[in-house]
Amino acid sequence: MADATGILVFGDAPGGQLGATAGELLAAGRSLADALGQELSIAILGADVGDAPQQAIAAGADQALAVTSPALADYHPDLHLAAMQAVAADTNAGIILIARNNEGRELAPRLAFRLGVGLAQDCLEVAADAGTGRLLANRPVYGGSAVAVVSCNQSPQIAAIRPKTYEPLEPDAARAGTVVAFPVDIDPAAARTRVVDVVKEEAEGIKLEDARIVVSGGRGLGGPEPFAQLEELAGLLGGAVGASRAAVDSGWVPANQQVGLTGKTITPDLYITVAISGASQHMAGCSGSKAIVAINKDGDANIFKEARYGVVGDWEKVIPALTETVRELTQS
């Protein structure tokens, strides 16, 4: 696109409130906008976006577009893609940021294809080149064992950012900004697939990605039964239970508990790993943890290179002792 300028973020408004990943993207976009001296806009998609546009202004946006249509009431890739393409064409933004969540994994590459440009996928950090003003994106390569810096030579430059890699800015109700109504005419018949049924899984306790303390188990546990002990420890700590891909692939725990490159990205204050070797693919999902405690009987395991504290020992002895100590401390 000729003379493309400005930063555009795509977000949603579940329940009429600004989505969590939208706040993270605004933090990333704000840093780019300030560095380039450009305006930061957010397009919030939905049938009714409620107070989300005002919340987006407080969270760092200069302009909030309320992109509304009855067809956007529920997520559908074809219909949401059509809305995003319409916004991109109208705003002519030079840089577009999308969250690499479940929806973004579908939408980002399809939007890039529709616009005839490339995509910086699964980015950990974005910045602006001081000389050219081009977008620079850090993304993991070789299974997360290295980080590459990539740039896009076409406009708009699109980056899909991994959730939890940016901390949302502190809301400032005094920030000035513009809210613009942006209704889109989308024909539901344009959807090439239809939703036959929606099955909601009832979740108990704290969501893994929101937990301040996470206890995760790996292949070294030997089976699904030991996860009951991790559940007990996590419960005493007020945390959640995660797992490595090996444990999930073995069918010991559900896939929504997987931490890693192909699982969830978490940034807890405390991350306790039990019988996890610390492969780069797993560490890609937890490297943002403030403190990692590793428990593994293999003193040469890679996890000890990443951990702040480590216990070399048999988890069958360490976990019961740790659980009992935590119980005494929390119930005294």
Maximum Cα–Cα distance across the chain: 67
Q: Please, which pLDDT band fits residue 290 given cuts at 50, 70 and 90?
A: very high
Q: What are phi and psi of 63, to 5 degrees?
A: -145, 140
Q: What predicted TM-score, i.e. pTM, was given to this entire model?
A: 0.86
**pLDDT tens figures, 232-283:** 999 999 999 999 999 999 999 999 999 998 899 899 999 999 999 999 889 9
At 157, list the tokens. 């430059």
Residue spans per domain, the chain: 7-190, 208-331
Rounded Cα distance between 90 and 280, Å, is 41
**pLDDT tens figures, 104-160:** 999 999 999 999 999 999 999 999 998 888 999 999 888 777 889 999 889 999 999
Are 7-190 and 208-331 equal in CATH topology? yes
Q: For residue 98, give the 3-state DSSP assignment.
A: strand
Q: What are phi and psi of 196, to 5 degrees?
A: -85, -40
**Which amino acid is present at 3?**
D
Q: Residue 189 contacts by C-beta under 8 Å, 6 or more apart in sequence?
A: none
The CATH class that applies to domain 7-190 reads: alpha beta
pLDDT at 195: 83
The CATH class that applies to domain 208-331 reads: alpha beta
**pLDDT tens figures, 190-239:** 899 888 888 877 767 788 988 999 999 999 999 999 999 999 999 999 99
